[in-house]
Structure 1
């Protein structure tokens, strides 16, 4: 059902407003709203706007803590898949002394990471320098001896397709004196040393520049290039050692990672608490905190506010006023709420139909996947994952839904005699030399029409339930005649049509129902039109909607298609697995193909069953009645990433 909501007004002394917000944060049942949106204009005009607090200090601290956590992520004990987040009380999480100690640790980590960053920068520069000098390693002239009083040596990098012969030819044509020698060559570049007279430097540079060669400067090189490379290699080794030493210091601090994570959550919670202040209006001494609260939580909030100097006032929403939507369902239905939320939350003035959505999604998913072995995997995997994996509430809900759908899959799979396809008969025949038959009530491969008819029958029931919900909503809103005209006559007409094809006396009953339904629709479906002709024309045209209903029913044939696909692929996997025979090699091959093939088939067809079951809800079912557009109830509550917060341990 959709929880009833009320407006809450909390009048608090300004000196206690932060404490009040903190209490609301712990309760997690109030959605704060901009105060002026909840008060009459004349009342809001008497109040002053709230102050937007400067949260830059907290946000900067949060960034620092996150960076420190990231710095330690590769060190210390790794968390396992089933490891649980630590449980802390609110007081433990928000302990100021612990936070201050952790900030000190954060500073130490920042110092170390700063050093590592500088060392890595130096290392990159040294490695880049080494790479640039490496091609000149065999050039044994010292850098300091490359210039004399009359001569000098220039170094060039020449790109293909140019070669050293082009330099010599260009120099000869321009009558420039030089001596060129290739030092090293690779795929695209040639490294060339050019000896020249100082007086010819300008001419030589112009001559070689025409060829697109780049001059290489040996600046910073002491001794020969080989000696410089040896020095760089030693520098690189020393830098790497220094980085390792700094990383060892980080490794020793890895045990502080949990404290940093807790501090990060504490700062995040503080930001959540303080950020709500800009929504307040105040008189100078009193803050007015406004929001939405489920009616069922009023007493709990009143009790928690008794310790503060504040007053709580509640008001019901106006007749047509929209309010946040919070759906409350049983443990069996609640997981299927995810299907509704992916589409759109219901209008707050509509009704919660998760019970119907969950029921039909449960049935259709099982019929589409329809393998008892796969159902067992989903049941065990889904429910165990929800119980043992430390994931968010949304993921847990999805896992529970998949687990429940596994039950339906087991039922339909057993009905069709499919346990990982026909793996049991195949194993018995191939490895035991025996013939085993699995009992089944329906064989989809040999009786596809039976499954198709069954799918369409479920489809008709699904559509009729949707129409019934529409009638209920209309009656609830006082439009009883509208429910009769827009739903009742369609029931009569649609039920009468197939009865026309049955033997007497049901054929006559169908004829009467069809006529009554058709006449009723013609006379009522155009009632909103202003003229008689418009009313009759719209009424007659409404009968064409019957094709839409038939089209909707045919959409449920996808249940047969997906069910057959699962079974056929599973059987093919089993055939491939037993092709090597019943020997040891065959057994090993069978295990590999069985696991890989069925996991792939399960993944693809479970996804298909999920998508198409949801589509039948969204298009066929919701199209009959659903009124979306609701906004999710989003209360101010503790949202943490690393720890779970509880009231008491």
Structure 2
């Protein structure tokens, strides 16, 4: 349960063995390739073109996934409107990620032709759907233009000018028709034909002398008349029917493409498997780009866990006996990747730490202590035993159903263990859905109720905060001792532990008569801590600053107190959840009392869903608050005392698959 010891791999081989070697190293699952420093004779391998080719494949595959996902949603909407017959495959709520052996994964290369042919089909469908969308828009626009002229039974092409007469087919607003007809009454050579039509836009045929056409057009334009440019040889009725038929044909073709697209989803695993294969091939090319090449050889550098040295040696030797390699201890100045190995209880909490920063290789592993405090404080923030049972059952049930691959599913376990913590603290607080447990066996394990005794709850929260912060200072001392910074141990760890430890003893002795004799001892211990701060507080400075540097360090006590007060959020979140639960219970009780007739509590029927909804909502809000605020206390208050992070996580070659997990033998 610590940071795993790492070793450096240095290797020189003939270029003809590089592909086989990378495959062998990938199969071990324990080698991270690092950058090799180029020399005059060895230059970085040029694989940029090949990487671009793999990137293009990944982009096309990703585009295919997005397209198919969109078409699935389109098909579901069409099926709801009964436009197509489509029954989507029911997706399992907790579908485990597929696991494959290395040999099975290697065969994914054989899927390239089938996968890329499928991608080309999706690209063709996408292009055709784009064309259909444009066509449909154009045809619908033309249909709308023709629709207004349906009351006119004559072919639209017959409305054309003669030698002396101008004929104009067009439309105008319905409220301007009378004005146009009045205009025709003022000119004996001006004729208006208005068919029987209703609506906001009315079709008109205007006939006038050609000599008057210009003036008439101006007057008509002022009245909102718009001349049509349509010259179809059919009537508007016939042309409209033709357009509708064309629209139906295009819609039918579109529906068929949607159905053909969702049919591809039955073989989506082929695309996913090939996608993962390309990801690994790109990773190998990226690793190749980190190597240095001579005319015929390549130089490889990497990192392996020390415990896997023999495994890596055998894998390299099996590729070729002519590969020269060395496995040695890390040297000063080298950036060593970090591999943390924790027990099953602590392991889920590694994700919490990694969200902040991965520990450096030479740093302390913060996960065991952080996991303990995270577990401890989660339950205080939730504070209800019944909530804890539900969280624990749900978390572990989801984890078992999902069957996540190694490194995944940590949130389920964090919630489940948080549920156990909540059960313990909730039982101590006597809270079971906020109900009164007086007179039951549950009262025997009750310590106190935060609602009845909020001061005790606040003191408990601050005490836990002080304990964690002092433990963080202890961790700082251990870290400095590991680096042999003994003055720092005295000035930044032992001194503060003595100062605050003495103050704690003094405070307890002041309130507890049994400890009254320890009051003076507490003062002396605290003063000795202050003395160490004054003497060694400026240990990193030089000259006068080294002598007086401890004085400003005393101000850190203010920051320490401020950090302790941050733990009052344990009190606030715990109390707020309890209040919400109590309010839900009171509302339900009022409803039951109001709807009790003849001794029969009919109101239970109404109160039950309110009870369930209210407490489920409270569990969700409280769990989210506990997760976020708990993380915040670890990151800001606890890690701020000793943890630097800034490490580089150990990432073995080919680890980054997306859809399929490559099962290494040790994982089984």
Which TM-score applies when normalising by structure 2?
0.84
Secondary structure (helix, strand or coil) at the match of 2:303 reads strand
CA distance in 2, matches of 1:56, 1:123: 37
State the match for 1:644 in structure 2.
661
Task: Give the one of 82, 86, 99 matched to 1:87.
Answer: 99
Distance 1:275 1:509 in 2: 63
Determine if the alignment matches structure 1 residue 341 to structure 2 residue 354.
Answer: yes
For residue 486 of structure 2, what is the aligned residue in structure 1?
A: 480
**8 A Cα contact 1:164 1:192, kept in partner:** no
> Quick check: 207-216 or 77-86, which moved more?
207-216
Could you tell me how far apart the structure 2 residues matched to 1:546 and 1:171 are?
97
* 1:339 Cα offset (Å): 1.7
Residues in 2 aligned to 1:477 and 1:80: alpha-carbon distance in whole angstroms: 52
2:642 equivalent in structure 1: 625
8 Å contact kept, 1:90–1:645: yes
SS at match of 1:401: helix
Structure 1 residues 126, 536: closer, same or farther in 2, change over 3 A?
Answer: same
**Number of equivalent positions:** 628
CA distance in structure 1 between the aligned counterparts of 2:65 and 2:332, rounded to whole angstroms? 50
In the alignment, what sits opposite 1:430?
none
Q: Which residue of the partner structure matches residue 154 of structure 1?
A: 169
Deviation of 1:359 after TM superposition, in Å, equals: 0.4
Q: List aligned pairs for 1:19-34, cutoff 5 A.
A: 19-34=20-35
1:428-486 per-residue CA deviation (whole Å, 9 max, x = no partner) reads xxxxxxx8684122111111122222222211211111010111111111122321222
Q: Distance in 1 between matches of 2:505 and 2:330?
A: 48
What is the CA deviation profile of residues 572-614 of structure 1, one whole-angstrom value per residue up to 9, with x for unaligned ones? Answer: 1122233332667523322321222112111111111112111
Structure 1 residues 111 and 285: alpha-carbon distance in aligned structure 2, compared to 1, 3 A threshold: same
Q: Which is further off, 405-414 or 162-171? A: 162-171
Of 359, 369, 373, the match for 1:356? 369
In the alignment, the residues of structure 2 paired with residue 436 and residue 498 of structure 1 have an alpha-carbon distance, to the nearest angstrom, of 37
2:269 is the counterpart of 1:258: yes
Q: Which residue of 1 aligns with 2:462?
A: 456
RMSD of aligned alpha carbons: 3.4
- Residues 137, 271 of structure 1: alpha-carbon distance in 2 compared, 3 angstrom cutoff: farther
After TM superposition, the structure 1 = structure 2 runs for residues 62-101 of structure 1, keeping only pairs within 5 Å, are 62-70=58-66, 72-73=68-69, 74=72, 77-95=89-107, 96-101=109-114
Shift of 1:182: 9.2
Q: 2:244 aligns with which of 224, 233, 255?
A: 233
SS at match of 2:524: helix
- The 1:87/1:173 distance shift into structure 2, 3 A limit, reads farther
- Structure 1 counterpart of 2:611, from 589, 594, 601: 594
Secondary structure of the residue that 1:578 maps to in structure 2?
Answer: helix
* 8 Å contact kept, 2:152–2:195: no
Q: Once structures 1 and 2 are overlaid, which stretch shifts more, 447-456 or 136-145?
A: 136-145
Q: Secondary structure of 1:35's partner?
A: coil
Superposed CA deviations along residues 308-337 of structure 1, whole A, max 9, x for unmatched, are: 122332233322433222222111111111
How far, CA to CA, are the matches of 2:636 and 2:187 in structure 1? 83
Shift of 1:208: 4.7
CA distance in 1 between partners of 2:408 and 2:202 (Å): 60
Match of 2:400 in 1: 387
Alignment-derived partner of residue 407 in structure 1: 420
Distance 1:523 1:377 in 2: 54
CA distance, structure 1, for counterparts of residue 10 and residue 189 of structure 2: 93
> Aligned partners of 1:240, 1:584: CA distance in 2, in Å?
58
Corresponding residue of 1:605: 622
Looking at structure 2, the residues matched to 468 and 22 of structure 1 have their Cα atoms a distance apart, in angstroms, of: 46
Pairwise CA distance, 1:216: 4.1
Structure 2 residue 615 is the aligned partner of structure 1 residue 614:
no
CA drift of 1:25 comes to: 2.6
On the 8 A contact 1:27/1:637 being kept in 2, the answer is no
User: Deviations 1:519-571 (Å, cap 9, x if unpaired)?
Assistant: 33223324555555x55654333333322222222222221111111111011
| Corresponding residue of 2:342 | 329
Aligned counterpart in structure 2 of residue 522 of structure 1, from 534, 539, 555: 534
Contact 1:489–1:521 (Cα < 8 Å) also in 2 = yes
How many Å separate the matches in 2 of 1:614 and 1:384?
24
Contiguous gaps of at least 5 residues in structure 2: 73-85, 511-515
1:506 to 518, 524, 546: 518
- Going from structure 1 to structure 2, the CA distance change for 1:369 and 1:177 (only over 3 Å counts) comes to same
Deviations, residues 281-311 of structure 1 (Å, cap 9, x unaligned): 1122212222222222222221222221223
State the Cα distance separating 1:506 from its structure 2 match: 1.9
Change (3 A) 1:166 1:362: farther
| Cα deviation 1:257-287 (Å, max 9, x = unaligned) | 3333323333333333234322221122212
In 2: Cα distance, 1:173 partner to 1:344 partner = 88
Q: Secondary structure at the match of 1:605?
A: helix
Name structure 1 gaps, 5 residues minimum. 426-434
When residues 183 and 193 of structure 1 are mapped into structure 2, their CA distance, relative to the original with a 3 A threshold, is farther
